[in-house]
Amino acid sequence: MTELFGEIDPPQRMLMGPGPVNAHPRVLRAMSADLLGQFDPEFTTYMNQVMALYRGVFQTDNRWTFLIDGTARAGIEAALISLVEPKATVLIVRSGRFGLLLSEIVERAGGNIVTVDAEWGKVVPMAAIAEAVARHKPAVVACVHGDTSTTMAQPLDGLGEICRAHGALSYVDATATLGGMAVEVDRWGADIVTGGLQKCLGGPSGSSPITVSDRAAEFIFARRHTEKGIRAADAADGGRPRIASNYFDLAMIMDYWSEKRLNHHTEATTMLYGARECARIALAEGLEARFARHAAAGRAVVAGLRGMGLTVYGADDHRMANVTGVYIPDGVDGERVRTRMREDFEIEIGSAFGPLQGKIWRIGAMGYNAMKHKVLITLGALEAVLRAEGFAVKSGAGVDAALASYS
């Protein structure tokens, strides 16, 4: 007989790592609402509302602003597989794990990759990007706004102007910053930007907001190929190479979100409810107030860590507001500290990837968790665990420093 296991009853853990974070209770309540058919007028109205709401979140007027069903990586892959034609030159800006991920996806799409790189913990100067675009004349330029692997935020002012001057389309992965740092799509002039719910927007992983410029939409529709099972007699395919993925074909997904409602997939109803509520919460708070809240929490984390005598990773002038890296002290077992944080205090902090694995912890304060009391509780718990592990730190030093930062 198949074991039925127990009813899902997870611990009430505070997720203070690089994401996911705890979802806002309003988002969880929205996700418990009844399902509707995907072409029910009530449901398509919700779809239209989602498009309007995320224009505000992305700070754009782009008509094509909607959701990709899947985690944040689904949005990344949909953008790149739809922009990158076989053998097209793609310039990738890389300074951490997620820049390398863009390379992985573009390779699978058949693009020819050129890169402009910075070492982990630094960012690529816009002048270096401009020089690389002028030299390589890429069809697409792809970059990451906030790379949680390094906790650094890549400056993007001027990116769109550089790309347009050389005929390139631009893509920005804003998974880790959307809703917590300014993602100014129209001001940047970015052609496609994608995000995720599970970080600053305070929702669950499983839906990726995306916005597409008219310029990028024209290119994508030139790659349109309507699948045979839903193809109308008057359907016309585009003249450019067909997008290699069916599920991540933005041309078909955009037809689904348009007035045509041309079926592509069954919309993830519960995730749409959650994404809609994430956007409502963010816009009701006010983006500037929200960015200030994340920035204050980030500053307090940094101050608290330094107050404990720890060394913060990376430069302050390019640090993400919502994720902070901190070196694991010599002689301290980083994984044992994480385990004690989780078992003794029900708090999760993050480890690291690649060359930083075993060298830093990553502490996040974003979305529903970018709150003063949660930052202070986390710092107090870390301090207690470090003392128990033999690291000398004055009692209350981290919390006091964080409180001073807030005041």
Would you state the pLDDT for residue 227?
Answer: 87
Best CA proximity match to 154, nearest among 197, 125, 195, 113:
125
pLDDT range class, residue 228, cuts 50, 70, 90: confident
Best CA proximity match to 193, nearest among 363, 17, 54:
54
For residue 173, what are the contacts with CB-CB under 8 A and spacing of at least 6? 72, 76, 98, 102, 142, 143, 144, 145, 193, 194
pLDDT range class, residue 253, cuts 50, 70, 90: very high
pLDDT digits (tens, 9 = 90+) for 272-291: 999 999 999 999 999 999 99
Torsion of CA 195, 200, 205, 210, to 10 degrees: -20
Mean pLDDT of the chain: 96
pLDDT range class, residue 11, cuts 50, 70, 90: very high
Would you state the pLDDT for residue 223?
Answer: 97
pLDDT range class, residue 229, cuts 50, 70, 90: confident
List of E strands, 60-188 = 64-69, 89-94, 112-117, 140-144, 146-147, 152-153, 169-173
* Residue reference for tokens 């992965």: 173
Domains contained in the chain, CATH given: 22-283 (3.40.640.10), 287-406 (3.90.1150.10)
- Whether the per-residue pLDDT at 191 is higher than 80: the answer is yes
- Whether the per-residue pLDDT at 346 is higher than 80: the answer is yes
pLDDT digits (tens, 9 = 90+) for 15-73: 999 999 999 999 999 999 999 999 999 999 999 999 999 999 999 999 999 999 999 99
286 to 56, 67, 283, 289: CA distances (angstroms): 10, 21, 5, 5
- Whether the per-residue pLDDT at 233 is higher than 80: the answer is no
Would you state the pLDDT for residue 235?
Answer: 82
Would you state the pLDDT for residue 368?
Answer: 97
- Whether the per-residue pLDDT at 345 is higher than 80: the answer is yes
Would you state the pLDDT for residue 204?
Answer: 97
Query: Does an H or E element contain 326, and which?
Result: strand 323-327
C-alpha span between 278 and 193 (Å, rounded): 17
Q: Average pLDDT in the 251-263 region?
A: 92
pLDDT range class, residue 292, cuts 50, 70, 90: very high
Q: Average pLDDT in the 92-106 region?
A: 96
* Residue reference for tokens 């009701």: 284
Torsion of CA 88, 94, 97, 98, to 10 degrees: -60
- Number of Cβ within 10 Å of residue 7's Cβ equals 5
Task: Give pTM, 2 decimals.
Answer: 0.96
Q: Average pLDDT in the 319-335 region?
A: 97
Q: Do residues 59 and 182 make contact, with C-beta atoms less than 8 angstroms apart?
A: yes
- Whether the per-residue pLDDT at 193 is higher than 90: the answer is yes
Best CA proximity match to 365, nearest among 199, 144, 196:
199
Would you state the pLDDT for residue 83?
Answer: 98
C-alpha span between 258 and 56 (Å, rounded): 19
Would you state the pLDDT for residue 152?
Answer: 97
Best CA proximity match to 316, nearest among 118, 123, 98, 95:
123
Q: Do residues 350 and 335 make contact, with C-beta atoms less than 8 angstroms apart?
A: no
Would you state the pLDDT for residue 406?
Answer: 97
C-alpha span between 65 and 237 (Å, rounded): 23
- Whether the per-residue pLDDT at 79 is higher than 80: the answer is yes
Q: Do residues 143 and 172 make contact, with C-beta atoms less than 8 angstroms apart?
A: yes
- Whether the per-residue pLDDT at 385 is higher than 80: the answer is yes
